[in-house]
Chains A and B, each alone.
Chain A
């Protein structure tokens, strides 16, 4: 499996406050990397750094072969997809309009919309505004957005927060499918109860750096 993400002693600051204080990790294609840790540990900041949304203050790193310090961060973002627990789309647009916008913006074939909606089980809710969807359905819409874009790295920020058991099992299936296709999944969790049938590495972040890690 090829390495798609490499961080070496990465430091990220918010103003003068360091949120990552020397993070070192690697993630490979087809592998799920789980970042665990308490609130405020730096999990979301790590995801944002990998997604090209934060700049490196110190250290080095590469995402899909693009240098985090000198490379084009906009190009890094094109390789990544984001799913947050708070919703990753426009509440005032319908499911169809949200996905059509994502497809057209990314230059994807609009024909993929039906497949991705079918995959996440939102076919009956196509013309419903995102604001009116339940928490589980909103997460499914975010996943449909990812499935349609097919980025090589999925960055999931607390993806199982507020999901019931059936929704967690559903998300697990989608992730296993993506991993089998060679997607690199990096997710943050403070109480991860998902058991993926795929290579999983777990890293515990405390105070902006790795405290311990294990692979399975």
Chain B
């Protein structure tokens, strides 16, 4: 399983690096969205950390949707899908590999967007740095759930629009927990319970993906 996961992750990252779609299209989209939010806020207003964190996570969610859709289409041509299926790869390994590649791509984007949030939406830098563990856990959850739902909608009519429709409700707990963690850190409240929720979500989706990815692929 680990061998297949590593193989698939390296392949997906290499495909992405060659096409530069995330670098030249997805990331600029995220930065532009933040910029527009900054313009909407205006130079004289300072958002509360809670609102800035919420906007940051909404942009990360948009970016992750695009990355997940992109990941699901790597094998979308019928010929490629058929010949890859013939390799008989362990589906659990394929799930972990694709989720790892998505995680690394979205995490890199999220870190750049977090820096953008401190600049454009005035999220305090120290707060942003303290939030890093929760950002990692949220991105991990988005990647795991998104990879599973990406496989589910792949090949269906209207899959690019169906994916966000299906996956957004499942991602709501992640975004709430992520935003609450930053708010709790900002107001010096306990935030470990939110991190705990994120860990439970990530473990749950890892197990679900390992068990269900093969079934979803075959269906």
Contact = CB atoms under 8 A, between A and B. Distances in A.
A74 to B, nearest CB: 5
Interface string B170-207: 00000000000000000000000000000000000000
B130 interface: no
A44 B6 CA distance: 32
A75 interface: yes
How would you classify the secondary structure of chain B's contact residues: helix, strand, loop or mixed? helix
A74 B89 CA distance: 8
B83 interface: yes
Contact of A101 (B11, B78, B79, B218): B11
Nearest to B17: A92
Contact of B78 (A84, A92, A145): A84
A55 B14 CA distance: 33
Contact of A82 (B4, B74, B86, B89): B86
A52 B85 CA distance: 9
B88 A48 contact: no
Q: Which range holds the interface residue count of chain A?
A: 20 to 34
Contacts of B14: 92-93, 97
Contacts of A51: 82, 85-86
Interface in A48-71: 48, 51-53
How would you classify the secondary structure of chain A's contact residues: helix, strand, loop or mixed? mixed
Contact of A81 (B4, B19, B83, B89): B83
B48 interface: no
B46 interface: no
Given A93-B14, A93-B15, A105-B7, A88 B88 contact: no
Contacts of B79: 82-89, 142, 157
Chain A CB within 10 Å — which of B18, B85, B88 has the most? B88
Contact of A90 (B11, B82, B86, B87): B11
Contacts of B18: 92-93, 129
Interface residues of B, number: 21
A169 B183 CA distance: 69
B83 A73 contact: no
B86 A78 contact: yes
Nearest to A76: B88
A83 to B, nearest CB: 7
Interface in B1-50: 4, 7, 11, 14-15, 18-19
A102 interface: yes
Chain A CB within 10 Å — which of B7, B15, B82, B86 has the most? B86
A74 B80 CA distance: 16
A129 B19 CA distance: 11
A86 B78 contact: yes
Nearest to B6: A104
Given A86-B77, A90-B15, A48 B87 contact: no
Contacts of A83: 79, 83
A209 to B, nearest CB: 23
A149 B89 CA distance: 13
A92 B21 CA distance: 12
Given A77-B88, A97-B14, A48 B77 contact: no
Given A87-B80, A89-B79, A129-B18, 14 more contacts: A51-B82, A51-B86, A75-B88, A78-B88, A81-B83, A82-B82, A84-B78, A87-B77, A88-B80, A90-B15, A93-B14, A101-B11, A105-B7, A142-B83
20 contacts: A51-B86, A52-B85, A74-B88, A78-B88, A87-B79, A88-B82, A89-B79, A89-B80, A89-B83, A92-B14, A92-B15, A93-B15, A93-B18, A97-B14, A105-B4, A105-B87, A142-B79, A142-B83, A149-B86, A149-B87
| Shortest beta-carbon contacts, A-B, top 9 | A84-B79, A88-B83, A78-B88, A92-B18, A88-B79, A82-B82, A86-B79, A82-B83, A92-B15
